[in-house]
Amino acid sequence: MRQGPLTGLKIVEFAGIGPGPFCGMLLSDLGADVVRVDRKGQGRGAPSDITSRGRRSVALDLKKPESVEACLKLMEQADAIIEGFRPGVMERLGLGPEVALKRNPRLVFGRMTGWGQTGTYAQAAGHDMNYIAISGALHAIGTKDKPIPPLNLVGDFGGGALYLAFGVLAGVIKARETGQGQVVDCAMSDGAASLMAMFYGFKAAGGWKEERRSNLLDGGAHFYDTYQCSDGKWISIGSIEPQFYALLLEKTGINDPEFQRQMDRGAWDGLREKLAHVIAQKTQAEWDEIMGGTDVCFGPVLDLDEAPKHPHNVARETFVEVGGVIQPAPAPRFSATPGKIQGPPPSIGAHDQEALSDWGFSADDIGALKAAGALA
Please identify every residue annotated as catalytic. 127, 156
Nearest to 297 by CA among 217, 239, 246: 239
Calpha distance 113→188 (Å, rounded):
6
Which 8-state DSSP code applies to residue 50?
A: G
Q: Are the beta carbons of 82 and 14 closer than 8 angstroms?
A: yes
φ, ψ dihedrals at 132, nearest 5°: -80, -15
Calpha distance 14→67 (Å, rounded):
13
Calpha distance 179→116 (Å, rounded):
26
Name, in order, each residue with C-beta under 8 angstroms of 112's C-beta and a sequence gap of 6 or more: 16, 19, 20, 23, 82, 83, 84, 160, 161, 164, 186, 188
Determine the distance from the C-alpha atom of residue 99 to the mean position of all C-alpha atoms in its chain, rounded to a whole number. Answer: 29
Q: Are the beta carbons of 103 and 131 closer than 8 angstroms?
A: no
Calpha distance 111→269 (Å, rounded):
45
φ, ψ dihedrals at 268, nearest 5°: -60, -45
Name, in order, each residue with C-beta under 8 angstroms of 67's C-beta and a sequence gap of 6 or more: 60, 61, 369, 374, 375
Q: What is the DSSP string of 226-277?
A: EEE-TTS-EEEEE--SHHHHHHHHHHHT---GGGG-TT-GGGHHHHHHHHHH
- The two most distant CA atoms of the chain are separated, in Å, by 82
β-pair partners for 182: 108
Helical ranges in 113-235 per DSSP H:
128-133, 137-140, 162-178, 188-195, 197-204
